[in-house]
């Protein structure tokens, strides 16, 4: 017997269209029960053929990747481990739905639940970051930044971002990226003594070049950014100010780092990394006069239909980020990074800026006379995954580098504690010093490190299924 509650969603009455869908669904369920009782159910083979039956090659690759993740320690700062709930939310029937447009204004029929889902994701994002506008449709970090530039700039305008070697990102004006191809790009760096952003240089570069857009945000900068100081510079040169918080969004959402929302015209972030959601992008703002321009830049300016299955996973991640458990996790992420820094210092390993305020640990390899390319190759053999990275005053190419970038998000999500990160830092330091002294890692050290990694991997398993 039906109750009145079945005709409500989130406590609100259904509209007539949704109500008719539910009525149709209930009829189908009733008919299906009768068919089951008569043992005459016929199911299209399309819905019964599993991956293991259809494509053993792809299934084997997926299983091998799970084994790799399970038996290694992931210290890549741009990666994380999503929860079971986020993983389940991404693998959903919205993969079948094309929902070009925005809630209430779609170009395809059958979008009533897509509308509801996107509204949920938007509301949660706005609540999480305390802002008035959120666009959850960007497919990636690159596309979210491209959309902002499309909304605010014309080809040939001047943009100013952080120098790639000092911690900036490709999409902030690198000449090999569309941001540096379509716009005139100038950059600011860091004080080479402190490794921190030199706001006097930022101001001087801004006054000299009068950029239309200033980008405050990084990909390998371990210190806190002064958003207010960037706002003052932007006001002096009458520039738009974009904050790309992709690496520290989770820390900002939980109050561990200051929020740029009230100081910047637009804020962008990826939804993976410290936000611990699916791979994707997010655009935020409190500037009402920019809302339509930003929306139109995402669609139809840059993208077609949104990936609604990814938006479902984003919505779940935004909800998780509002829980007490998540706040505890972000605090551990920072504590674990600081613990690694102290162990490296104890081993006489140089740290860029001499510390960290977030999840990033940037190692300066110059004094060791070794390269990031060498180190990451040997660490891979020891089942530790990291990435080479340019650092301030780096004389080597981005394919070789004088730096190593480590991040604590993924292993903290896995469950590693402070003492475990200290142990991992010691392992890495031993590898670095042996490469310095011998030009390679000896078989005994490689074997010992592998066994220690496998011990930690076994202690903190990744419980995913293919």
Task: Return binding residues for (6S)-5,6,7,8-tetrahydrofolate.
Answer: 164, 168-170
On the question of a cis peptide bond just before residue 23, with omega within 30 degrees of 0, the verdict is no
Q: Please name the helix (run of DSSP H) or strand (run of DSSP E) that holds residue 123, with its range, or none.
A: helix 112-129
Considering the candidates 273, 388, 405, 414, report the single residue annotated as catalytic.
273
SS3 101: strand
Considering the candidates 118, 124, 223, 244, report the single residue annotated as catalytic.
244
Q: What share of the chain is helix, strand, coil (3-state, %, to 5)?
A: 50, 15, 35
**96-129 in b/e burial notation, b at 16+ Cβ within 10 A?**
ebbbbbbeeebeeeebebbbebbebbbebbbebb
Distance between the two ends of the chain, CA-based, in angstroms? 39
**Cα(6)–Cα(4) distance, integer angstroms:** 6
The full 3-state SS of 126-140, as one line of letters, equals: HHHHCCCEEECCCCC
**Cα(131)–Cα(460) distance, integer angstroms:** 37
Which has the closest alpha carbon to 259: 88, 131, 108? 131
Annotated active-site residue 32? The verdict is no
Annotated active-site residue 449? The verdict is no
Query: In terms of DSSP H, where are the helices of 11-55?
Result: 16-38, 51-54
Considering the candidates 63, 71, 79, 98, report the single residue annotated as catalytic.
98
Query: Which residues are annotated binding-site positions?
Result: 164, 168-170
Beta strands, E only, 97-212: 101-102, 105-106, 133-135, 158-162, 184-188
SS3 241: strand
Annotated active-site residue 254? The verdict is no
Q: Which residues pair with 126 in a beta bridge?
A: none
Annotated active-site residue 79? The verdict is no
Annotated active-site residue 49? The verdict is no
Annotated active-site residue 420? The verdict is no
Place of tokens 């191809």: 181
CB atoms within 10 A of CB 189: 19
- Which residues have a catalytic role annotated? 98, 100, 244, 270, 273, 279
């Amino acid at each position: 017997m039906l109750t009145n509650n079945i005709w409500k969603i989130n406590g609100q009455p259904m509209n007539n269209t949704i109500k008719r869908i539910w009525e149709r669904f209930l009829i189908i369920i009733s008919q299906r029960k009768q068919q089951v009782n008569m043992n005459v159910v016929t199911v299209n083979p399309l819905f019964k053929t599993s991956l293991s039956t259809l494509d053993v090659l792809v299934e084997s690759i997926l299983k091998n990747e799970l084994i790799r993740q399970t038996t290694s320690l992931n210290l890549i700062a741009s990666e994380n481990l999503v929860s079971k709930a986020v993983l389940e939310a991404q693998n959903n029937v919205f993969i079948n739905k094309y929902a070009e447009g925005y809630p209430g204004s779609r170009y395809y029929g059958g979008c009533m639940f897509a509308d509801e889902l996107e509204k949920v994701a938007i509301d949660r994002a706005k609540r999480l970051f305390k802002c008035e506008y959120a666009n959850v449709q960007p497919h990636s970090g690159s596309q979210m930044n491209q959309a902002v530039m499309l909304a605010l700039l014309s080809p040939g305008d001047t943009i100013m971002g952080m120098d790639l070697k000092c911690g900036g990102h490709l999409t902030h004006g690198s000449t090999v990226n569309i941001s540096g191809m379509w716009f005139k790009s100038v950059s600011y760096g860091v004080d080479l003594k402190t490794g921190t952003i030199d706001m006097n240089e930022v101001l001087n570069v801004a006054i000299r070049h009068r950029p239309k857009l200033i980008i405050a945000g990084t990909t390998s900068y371990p210190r806190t950014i002064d958003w207010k100081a960037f706002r003052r510079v932007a006001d002096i040169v009458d520039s738009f100010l974009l904050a790309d918080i992709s690496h520290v969004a989770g820390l900002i959402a939980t109050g561990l780092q200051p929020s740029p929302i009230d100081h910047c015209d637009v804020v962008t972030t990826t939804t993976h990394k410290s936000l611990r959601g699916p791979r994707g992008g997010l655009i935020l703002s409190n500037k009402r006069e920019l809302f339509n321009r930003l929306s139109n830049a995402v669609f139809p300016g840059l993208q077609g239909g949104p990936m609604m299955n990814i938006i479902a996973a984003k919505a779940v991640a935004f909800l998780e980020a509002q829980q007490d458990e998540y706040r505890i996790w972000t605090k551990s992420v920072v504590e674990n990074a600081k613990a690694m820094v102290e162990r490296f210092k104890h081993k006489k390993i140089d740290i860029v800026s001499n510390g960290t305020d977030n999840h990033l640990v940037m190692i300066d390899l110059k004094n060791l006379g070794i390269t990031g390319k060498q180190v990451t190759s040997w660490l891979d053999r020891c089942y530790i995954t990291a990435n080479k990275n340019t650092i301030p005053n780096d004389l080597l190419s981005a394919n070789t580098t004088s730096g190593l970038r480590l991040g604590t998000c993924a292993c903290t999500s896995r469950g590693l504690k402070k003492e475990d990160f200290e142990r991992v830092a010691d392992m890495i330091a031993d590898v670095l010093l042996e490469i310095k002294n011998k030009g390679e890692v000896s078989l005994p050290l490689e074997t010992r490190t592998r066994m220690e990694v496998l011990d930690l991997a076994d202690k903190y398993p990744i419980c995913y299924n293919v």
